[in-house]
Structure 1
Amino acid sequence: MTFLGSGTSMGVPTLGCPCAVCADARIPGSRNRRTRPSLRLEWEGHTVLIDTGPDFHAQAIRENISRVDAVFYTHHHADHILGMDDLRPLSFRNTTPLPLYADDPTADALERVFGYTFRTENRYPTSARVQIHRLDPTPGSTTRIFGANFQRIPVIHGRERITGYRFGSAAYLTDMSDIPPESLALLQGLDILILDALRPAPHPSHSHVAKSIAFVEQLKPKRAYFTHMGHELDHNATEATLPQGIHLAYDGLQLTFDIAPEETAS
């Protein structure tokens, strides 16, 4: 698992901001440098992404991504979908269309924003070779690819219900302000829990640090990492205040975990 990006929708440094965190984020190697949120998963020669934000091109160059086998989308906001067109050169290498997995609102947005890619008549000749697969809206529904199960975990994002994912012993819940009871039941026995922690103060559409800590204490994963963080959080100062086993993610962070524990157990 590689965090391609760990920042909020405006990124860090935030344009025009003179704060200390944004100033530090301009220094090469700073862990306060946060591009828009995305995750890469690699196992058995396969590469799967969760979200393709507007920074995907730079993230792919930084991490030397040369192939993508599938993309799962969490929701339709700009900071999670606008890099889809950068999949074009990677999709040309595949013998079949690159599968994109998304709920109905996200699939509708992708088809609308990238209409030149998905239309059947007068299609742009070098459009990405992709195909949308609409997720079963049932909480806990599973998509199986390359020997691993991706389970849909609904979360609340302000006034919307969007998609988080559990894959093996890890779960990724970006852009969430709350977790409904039916989803909490799907998040037991985790090795790694990744969840939104935008800033210290409450926010109407995102979890904040204290609330995310409370979710970790309730779900009791072995390890927890916060993502989708804004410039209100200095990496080193905030990390020093977190309970044991909870960390701030950062761009380029790599973690290992078991993506198919049921097969391993058998």
Structure 2
Amino acid sequence: MKQSLNVTFLGTGTSQGIPILGSKHPVCLSNNSKDKRLRVSVLVSWGDYNYVIDCGPDFRQQLLINPIEKLDGILFTHEHADHTAGIDDIRPFFFRQGDIPIYAHERVVIALKRRFDYIFANEDRYPGAPAVTINLVDKETSFELSGLQVTPIEVWHNRLPVLGYRIHDFVYLTDVKRVEESEMEKLRNCKVLVVNALRIDPHHSHFNLEEALEFAEEVGAERTYFTHISHLLGFHEEVEKNLPENVFLAYDNLKITI
């Protein structure tokens, strides 16, 4: 029997979230809950397993809203703070489970060790610090998570290589500006694509809405959800009503099944 994936969008905002502190932009002042976006992350669950892709500074808040009893691992896309700064909040899971597996490129692990040295320390560990088991990931090698194959996908965030992930028929990409044709092959025949759509105007390191729509059409997934959204994209309801019928704006706490 084919395993269903349950995906919860823990956060769908860009690095500052929405609302931006102190901003009087109309989207930041919106009363619509779909216009309020925590930093980007997703929870992917199947069977009794729970994996998170990225854990930004809102991680604790996100899992209070979408509680899980155990965390089987974290997949990191890259080292930027809005994707990694919540790693200390694995502590409750560590105290119950022991070391938490993380999956990341070697470059990302080096950055995490520099910022969170107490988590990675081998000696003289602080008694309350969590610990992790490191699993290095690169674009060349698929790996298995709790019975499912995961395929890393390299994309470009300006000049920074970032890893997306394909889990079965689900593809998650964020902070994308360019994808090489060789990596595009890994996206073929996926059912659900998640990809960033930052704003209307062009950006040096992210797809804007036009680019994200072109990319979604090229991939041809059954459903596409846009994430990593800034207030400059506009009001959720107004933007979504103008999207193709199989393309949607993701929003915080949206749950989908694949």
- Is residue 139–residue 163 contact of structure 2 (8 Å, CA) maintained in 1? no
Aligned length: 251
Matched, 1:188 2:188: yes
SS in 1 for 2:96: coil
Q: Distance in 2 between matches of 1:226 and 1:256?
A: 16
1:218 corresponds to which residue? 218
2:8 corresponds to which residue? 2
Letter of the 1:104 partner, please give it.
Answer: E
Q: Distance in 1 between matches of 2:33 and 2:121?
A: 42
Matched, 1:175 2:178: no
- Is residue 120–residue 131 contact of structure 2 (8 Å, CA) maintained in 1? no
- Is residue 92–residue 129 contact of structure 1 (8 Å, CA) maintained in 2? no
- Is residue 7–residue 37 contact of structure 1 (8 Å, CA) maintained in 2? yes
Where do residues 150-169 of structure 1 align in structure 2 (5 Å cutoff)? 150-169=150-169
Work out which of the residue numbers 118, 124, 135 in structure 2 matches 1:133.
135
- More displaced, 116-125 or 70-79? 116-125
Pairwise CA distance, 1:159: 1.1
Where do residues 1-266 of structure 1 align in structure 2 (5 Å cutoff)? 1-24=7-30, 27=31, 30-94=33-97, 96-138=98-140, 141-233=141-233, 234-257=235-258
Q: How big is each residue's C-alpha offset from its partner over 1:184-241, in whole Å with a ceiling of 9 and x where there is no partner?
A: 1110001100001000111001001110100111111000000000001210010011
In the superposition, the TM-score normalised over structure 1's length comes to 0.92
CA RMSD of aligned residues (A): 1.0
Q: Distance in 2 between matches of 1:218 and 1:50?
A: 24
Q: Distance in 2 between matches of 1:37 and 1:167?
A: 18
Q: How big is each residue's C-alpha offset from its partner over 1:8-57, in whole Å with a ceiling of 9 and x where there is no partner?
A: 00000011110110001xx3x61001000000011111100000000001
SS in 1 for 2:177: coil
- More displaced, 72-81 or 120-129? 120-129
SS in 2 for 1:57: helix
Q: Distance in 1 between matches of 2:102 and 2:247?
A: 31
Using the aligned pairs only, state the percent identity: 38
Instruction: List gaps (5 residues or longer) in structure 2.
Output: 1-6
Instruction: List gaps (5 residues or longer) in structure 1.
Output: 258-266
Letter of the 1:21 partner, please give it.
Answer: V
Pairwise CA distance, 1:62: 0.6
- Is residue 139–residue 153 contact of structure 2 (8 Å, CA) maintained in 1? no
Q: Which runs of 4+ in 1 moved over 4 A?
A: none
